[in-house]
A and B are shown apart, each in its own frame.
Chain A
Amino acid sequence: MMADINYQVAELAEKARAGDRASLEQLVNHFHEEIFRMVYYRTRSRMDAEDLTQEIFMRMSKNLPGLKDAGRIRPWLYSIALNRVRDFHRKKRILSFFGTTTELDAVAQATAGSSNNPGDNVIQKEFQLQFHRFTEGLSRWEREVFMLRFVNHLRIREIAEALKKSESTIKTHLYRALKKFRENPEFRDLLRGGVL
């Protein structure tokens, strides 16, 4: 099932690379939500995530002819997205240095739950808060690797490609992040509540 999807995506990427607009649109539709979510959890701002997602796909369509292996579209797209997010944070840091931007309470802002059920929204807010606290306790690479693996569901090989690091380095960061995850009973309790 997963292999089928991967094959279809690779086929779309191959056609899009050859200039097929319909395939490019399908490819964008396939990754839109996933990339938006990836950016959202790194910016914690819906508006910024919308703008960055747009930029990422523009860059994807521009650089697609240069993609060597269509089967590697996913890690390739994630590497574009990660670079854009990094640029965004760099710009934000520069702006905040000059005092032209204010640091918003990101967690309080990140309340745009998709559910209409108030109870669900409370759980979602709590999740965002706990998740934010947990990831803040990780080093930059631990956080990146953990999120790519367990939020974005990339395989270790894909993460290594997206971050341009060796698989053993990725595994080391993942191991350390998981160790910290195990030492966070509050967050795990919340997730266990979600499991039930």
Chain B
Amino acid sequence: MKSNDLHLNEDQVIRSVVDENDLSVAVRDHLSTCLACQRKKEQIEKELTSLCRMAKESAPLPRQEIRLPFHKPRLWSWRPVFATGLAVILLIAGVWWYGLVTTSKEKMTAQIIGEAEKDRQLTAEIDALEEYAPYDFYPDISGESDPDYFDEFLEFVVPLEENQNKEA
């Protein structure tokens, strides 16, 4: 059997796709006449053509124009405008947030001071109540508020003997 009667093996088919000229003359002669081997090679080539086409279709198209050195700089571009807008919004949000935090801190401090003052007043009132439990007018009735009156009152309730004799 002559070598050009043999069909191409897998390696030879692949080599024919890479570069047919790298195959020996006998193998090339066989390939040029054998439909089965040609079909094998064409099948791979079809797949690779399909790969190229699908790669082209699946890739997006460029959106930006190419700016060359001699082109005038663009006066307006959405990117810096967008970046500036975003920076301004962030700055405003930051200032607002800082103000909110500071104000709420001040408010909280004032509230705490107010509550402490109220607590202090309440404590003072309780202390006062503990020291002088009865209302103010009770000492007047009992005479405790006036020591002289207290003596007179006792004299009235339980007169001394000598004073009784005097009166008699």
Q: Which residues of A contact B (CB under 8 A)?
A: 21, 24-25, 28, 32-33, 36-37, 40-41, 46, 49-50, 53-54, 57-58, 61-62, 112-115, 120, 123-124, 127-128, 131, 150-151, 153, 156, 171, 174-175, 178-179, 181-182, 188, 191-192, 194-195
Contacts and interface: CB of A to CB of B under 8 A. Distances in A.
A151 B68 contact: no
7 contacts: A54-B66, A114-B59, A114-B60, A131-B51, A156-B18, A178-B14, A179-B11
B58 A128 contact: yes
Interface residues of B, number: 33
Contacts of A46: 60
A8 to B, nearest CB: 19
Given A54-B67, A57-B66, A156-B19, A131 B46 contact: no
Interface string B15-51: 1011100100000000000000000000010111111
Given A21-B70, A33-B61, A153 B10 contact: no
B94 to A, nearest CB: 23
A191 B59 contact: no
A156 B60 CA distance: 26
Contact of B14 (A36, A128, A182): A182
A112 to B, nearest CB: 4
B68 A171 contact: no
B108 interface: no
B52 interface: yes
Contact of A24 (B15, B22, B51, B68): B68
Interface in B39-98: 44, 46-64, 66-70
B69 A58 contact: yes
B37 to A, nearest CB: 15
A24 B54 CA distance: 30
A116 B68 CA distance: 32
B109 to A, nearest CB: 41
A124 B66 CA distance: 27
A74 B44 CA distance: 26
A114 B59 CA distance: 7
A156 B15 CA distance: 13
A58 B66 CA distance: 8
Nearest to A113: B58
Contact of A61 (B14, B19, B60, B68): B68
B22 A194 contact: no
Most-contacted residue by chain A among B50, B51, B57, B70 (CB, 10 A)? B51
